[in-house]
Amino acid sequence: MTVQEILSIGHPVLRETATAVPPADIAGERVQAVIDDLIDTMRHANGAGLAANQIGETARIVVIEVNDNPRYPYKPPIPLTVAINPELEVLDDETVVINEGCLSVPLRGDVVRSVNLGVRYLDREGAEHCITARGLTAGTWQHECDHLDGVLITDRADPSTLCTWDEFQRHHRDAFIERITRFNQQVGT
């Protein structure tokens, strides 16, 4: 297990636009090591996802996984997904407000996200995938892909909703979980 340091807001790499990974490089030792480090680091931190630039690598790679995550008990399960050069396509105008946290930012805040996305990416073997992501899963994809473009939740969140994790737990968590649970039931996620 190789757990890397997760960079915090203020580190310049978090504001860089990540570079596409040439498909011919995917099977290489360097790219595979970054993928393994991302998985180990995300799991160690109980994250729902992690982008390569959060561990100092400016490659367009994200990992996503939700499986009984104590930080996000309201998120639907997502199997371990390694996405190289992900591309998102908004499928309609439906949006939802998600109170998001981030492993690189010690704050949470309300972010407007698209509900329905088309997602294209290459996996760690270089195979192409085209999926539809809905609801909170679509929000997770948008959050992680924002990182690849140097965008943090502080850029997208309603400033009046920003709070620490502790204050979210004390004052906002229950209302958010109630609202997002109703939303999950409506969209069938």
Residue 110, both tokens: 């309300």
| Among 98, 66, 77, CA closest to 172 | 98
Mean pLDDT by 10 residues, the chain (189 residues): 95 98 98 98 96 98 92 89 98 97 96 98 98 96 98 97 93 90 81
| Among 22, 101, 113, 105, CA closest to 60 | 22
3-state secondary structure of 48: coil
For the chain, what are the domain ranges?
A: 12-187
**Segment holding 135, helix H or strand E:** helix 135-148
What does each C-alpha distance from 17 to 13, 26, 123, 157 come to in angstroms?
8, 19, 20, 20
Q: Give the pLDDT of residue 189.
A: 66
List the catalytic residue out of 87, 89, 144, 178. 144
- Report the CATH fold assignment for 12-187: Peptide Deformylase (3.90.45)
Q: Give the pLDDT of residue 93.
A: 98
Q: Give the pLDDT of residue 72.
A: 82
Residue 56, both tokens: 């100092």
Residue 128, both tokens: 């192409």
Q: Which residues of 99-115 are buried (b: 16+ CB within 10 A; e: fewer)?
A: bbbbbbbebbbbbebbb
Quote the pTM value: 0.94
Q: Is residue 94 annotated as part of the catalytic site, yes or no?
A: no
What pLDDT, in 10s, does the model give residues 109-127?
A: 999 999 999 999 999 999 9
